[in-house]
């Protein structure tokens, strides 16, 4: 059974990856690994909980990697759109202001 402490760290790590908080992702990943190692070290050799912790940690890191890849791809797409839109700005770099008549 995964402890509530590990589950909480896993949720925080996933949230940090989703919001592209790379420094938080690094800090939380290291913390999750340390807590998992600490909890695994407290179990006797051959305990099925060891495998459960290892599988949970692998799944967490795999999921985090996917979230980071998605975030980086979205960010790259945003940069491409900015470059594309920049072509349509006037030479002085200022976009014309639009006023809506309501």
In tens, the pLDDT along 33-76 reads 999 999 999 999 999 999 999 999 999 999 999 999 999 998 88
Q: Distances from the Cα of 38 to the Cαs of 18, 58, 63, in angstroms?
A: 27, 16, 22
- By the 8 A CB rule, do 24 and 56 touch? no
Domain assignment present for residue 94? The answer is: no
Residues of the domain holding 44:
4-86
Closest CA to 34 of 5, 4, 67: 5
Domain assignment present for residue 78? The answer is: yes
Closest CA to 60 of 9, 23, 26: 9
Domain assignment present for residue 75? The answer is: yes
Q: Say how many domains are in the chain.
A: 1
Domain assignment present for residue 101? The answer is: no
Q: 92 vs 26, which has greater pLDDT?
A: 26
């Amino acid at each position: 059974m995964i402890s509530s402490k590990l589950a909480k760290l896993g949720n925080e790590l996933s949230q940090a990856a989703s919001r592209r908080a790379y420094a938080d992702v690094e800090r939380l990943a290291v913390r999750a690994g340390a807590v998992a190692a600490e909890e695994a070290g407290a179990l006797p050799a051959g305990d099925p909980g060891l495998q459960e912790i290892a599988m949970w940690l692998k799944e967490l890191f795999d999921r985090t990697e996917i979230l980071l890849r998605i975030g980086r791809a979205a960010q790259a797409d945003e940069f491409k759109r900015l470059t594309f839109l920049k072509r349509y700005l006037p030479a002085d770099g200022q976009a014309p202001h639009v006023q809506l008549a309501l």
